[in-house]
Structure formats: structure tokens, C-alpha cells
């Protein structure tokens, strides 16, 4: 008999393959890898809860959501999860999104692990690749020297303004290192952050004046 984790994976794999390359199932697998690494340093955390939350965390992402799209709670009910687990999974996922710096408060170590694991995949070499993949999928400019990064914005403004991809680094990606919660997440984020700084310096040199 399949576990809840296996059942959830079976349900969402095809869904994520319909997303663009920045949020496809490869992204989910990388976040799972990050979560497993953090879990090694957080032995008190509920691994099943973390893994299920990672698998489902982008199901209702507003960037890909449709009126008739699947719902997290429906998926969990259909695979046989109990109400307590469903409530915990939903709570974990609700605190993941950056939303222009308007993230919801983390309520558990599991939520912290899921958020850190997801945000690690938004920075470093893979974060750079994902940012440009998403920007390309949405028809955004690579960079715009005349565009100022916003320091404060509402969640709606963050989602709706089509900023250039390099601007997105300054509005989100370069901020994530200092928003990590777990000690392992902080440690893993530092190297990836430093790599993005080097990339942006090289990009600036190549673009020139």
C-alpha cells in the first residue's frame, strides 16, 4: 500500500509538469532535497508533514491558479489524510510565499523548514536560472537600468507589476538570505547569496554604461 507521501507525489507530478520551468516538478524535487538537508539538523520536526507540504506547496500558487484547478485540501482528503494533518499542511504552505515581503507568520518548525527549503531554490545558480526562466515565460525584460527596485510594496503590487528580471533580484532574491529561519537554512543560503552577488557584478560589467 502506498504511503501518503507517495500518493501526494502521484497526484501532483503531472500538474507541476504543466507549469513553466521555474516552478515545474524539478523545482519540487530540489526543494525536497533542501528540506531533507535541513531535517538532518532538526530531528524534532515531523518529516512526513514537511515532505507533504513541500509536494503541495505550489498547487494553489496564484501565478498558475485556475478556477477549476486542484485544491490542496481536496488532494489531501482524496489521499486519505486526517483533518489534523490537513490543517498542519495548510498552515505550513500559507507561510511559504514571499508576497513582496508580506509573508505570513511561521507557526511551526515544519513551516520554517518548508519555507527555507523553497527559498533556497530561489537563490544561487538555480535561483538565477529560475528567475530568467520565469521572466522569459512572462515576457519580461532581462534588465532595465531605469527601473528602481521597490523597497516596500503590497502583495498585489508585487504580483502585478512586470518588473525586469534583474530588478527582481533586488526586490526579493537578495533579501532571502536574511529571512532564513533555520540555522541550516542560514548556512546554506550564504554561499548561494554570495554567488548571486558575483553574477550581478559580472552582468553589470558586461552590460556597461
Q: Grid coordinates representing 203?
A: 552582468
Q: What is the pLDDT of residue 68?
A: 82
CB 5 within 8 A of CB 51: yes
Exposed e or buried b per residue across 131-159, where buried means at least 16 C-beta atoms within 10 angstroms of its C-beta: bbbbbeeeebeebeeeeeeeeebeeeebe
> What does pLDDT average to over the chain?
92
DSSP per-residue letters across 29-77 = HHHHHHHHHHHTT-TTS-HHHHHHHHHHTTTT-TTT--TT---HHHHHH
Instruction: Please report, for the domain that includes residue 76, its CATH number.
Output: 1.10.3210.50
Residue 149 confidence class, pLDDT cut points 50, 70, 90? confident
pLDDT digits (tens, 9 = 90+) for 57-76: 999 988 888 878 899 999 99
**Helix, strand, or coil (residue 2):** coil
For residues 156 and 31, what is the distance between their CA atoms, to the nearest angstrom? 25
Residue 96 confidence class, pLDDT cut points 50, 70, 90? confident
Q: How far is CA 89 from CA 76, 95, 101, 110, in A?
A: 9, 10, 22, 9
Total number of domains constituting the chain: 1
CB 131 within 8 A of CB 19: no
Residue 151 confidence class, pLDDT cut points 50, 70, 90? confident
Query: What is the extent of the structural domain holding 133?
Result: 4-207
Is residue 124 packed enough to be buried (19+ CB in 10 Å), middle (13-18) or exposed (0-12)? buried
Is residue 94 packed enough to be buried (19+ CB in 10 Å), middle (13-18) or exposed (0-12)? middle
Q: What is the pLDDT of residue 209?
A: 59
- Percent over 70 (pLDDT), the chain: 94
Q: What is the pLDDT of residue 99?
A: 63
CB 50 within 8 A of CB 35: yes
Amino acid at each position: 500500500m502506498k504511503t501518503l507521501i507517495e500518493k501526494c507525489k502521484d497526484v501532483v507530478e503531472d500538474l507541476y509538469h504543466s507549469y513553466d520551468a521555474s516552478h515545474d516538478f524539478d523545482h519540487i524535487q530540489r526543494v525536497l532535497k533542501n528540506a531533507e538537508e535541513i531535517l538532518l539538523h532538526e530531528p524534532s520536526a515531523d518529516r512526513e508533514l514537511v515532505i507533504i507540504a513541500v509536494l503541495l506547496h505550489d498547487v494553489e500558487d496564484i501565478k498558475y491558479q485556475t478556477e477549476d484547478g486542484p485544491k490542496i485540501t481536496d488532494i489531501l482528503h482524496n489521499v486519505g489524510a486526517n483533518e489534523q494533518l490537513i490543517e498542519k499542511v495548510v498552515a505550513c504552505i500559507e507561510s511559504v510565499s514571499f508576497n513582496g515581503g508580506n509573508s505570513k507568520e511561521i507557526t511551526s518548525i515544519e513551516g520554517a523548514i518548508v519555507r527555507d527549503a523553497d527559498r533556497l531554490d530561489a537563490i544561487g545558480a538555480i535561483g538565477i536560472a529560475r528567475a530568467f526562466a520565469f521572466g522569459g515565460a512572462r515576457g519580461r525584460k532581462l534588465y532595465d537600468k531605469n527601473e528602481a527596485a521597490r523597497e516596500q510594496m503590497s502583495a498585489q503590487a508585487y504580483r502585478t507589476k512586470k518588473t525586469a528580471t534583474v530588478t527582481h533580484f533586488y526586490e526579493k532574491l537578495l533579501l532571502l538570505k536574511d529571512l532564513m529561519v533555520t540555522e541550516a537554512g542560514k548556512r546554506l543560503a550564504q554561499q548561494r547569496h554570495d554567488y548571486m552577488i558575483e553574477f550581478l557584478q559580472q552582468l553589470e560589467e558586461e552590460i556597461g554604461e
